[in-house]
């Protein structure tokens, strides 16, 4: 039987929209939702496999992002005792619970965003 999920702790000044801003801080970093999406789609992945799945991310930024997601209890980091030893990343139960949020972001983007004709006109 799985252990009950311990809620993530957050600090707020009592604003009614606090849960929105706290959630935005978790998934609002540039690469966080992409990494979570790739782990939702592909299941557990090693570092190099995630890097291949996330176009344009540097190794340093991926490492920092995975560390941040692990610290925030959205991603598990597991050392797999194989020859050679490797590290595998997977979503925690809390990370998996972001699935409807990530799916809604993808669906909204698919419906309302289109590639810009040039960089100067793009939302960045």
Structural contact between residues 93 and 83, judged by C-beta atoms closer than 8 angstroms: no
Mean of pLDDT values over 32-50: 96
Residue pointed to by tokens 């810009």:
116
Structural contact between residues 66 and 97, judged by C-beta atoms closer than 8 angstroms: no
Locate the domains of the chain by residue range.
Answer: 20-105
More confident residue, 20 or 101: 101
Question: Is the pLDDT at 102 greater than 80, yes or no?
Answer: yes
Q: What is the pLDDT of residue 68?
A: 95
CA dist., res. 35 & res. 50, Å (int): 7
Q: Within 10 A of 120 (CB to CB), how many other CB atoms are there?
A: 7
Mean of pLDDT values over 101-120: 85
Cis peptide before 84 (omega within 30 of 0): yes
- CATH of 20-105, picked from 1.20.1260.10, 3.40.50.720, 1.10.10.10, 1.10.357.10, is 1.10.10.10
Choice among 12-21, 22-31, 63-72, 85-94 with the minimum mean pLDDT? 12-21
pLDDT digits (tens, 9 = 90+) for 64-97: 999 999 999 999 999 988 888 889 999 999 999 9
Q: Is this prediction's pTM over 0.85?
A: no
CA dist., res. 106 & res. 113, Å (int): 10
Residue 115 DSSP class: -
- Closest by alpha carbon to 90, among 39, 33, 31, 26? 39
pLDDT digits (tens, 9 = 90+) for 47-70: 999 999 999 999 999 999 999 999
Structural contact between residues 112 and 104, judged by C-beta atoms closer than 8 angstroms: no
């Amino acid at each position: 039987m799985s252990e009950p999920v311990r809620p993530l702790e957050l600090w707020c000044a009592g604003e009614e929209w606090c849960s929105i801003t706290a959630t935005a801080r978790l998934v609002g970093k540039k690469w966080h939702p992409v990494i979570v999406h790739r782990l939702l789609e592909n299941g557990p992945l090693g570092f190099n496999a995630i890097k291949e799945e996330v176009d344009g991310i540097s190794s340093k930024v991926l490492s920092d992002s995975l560390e941040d997601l692990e610290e925030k209890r959205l991603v598990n980091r597991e050392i797999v005792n194989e020859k050679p030893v490797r590290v595998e990343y997977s979503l925690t139960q809390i990370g998996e619970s972001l699935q409807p949020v990530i799916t809604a972001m993808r669906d909204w983007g698919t419906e309302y965003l289109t590639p810009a004709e040039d960089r100067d006109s793009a939302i960045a």
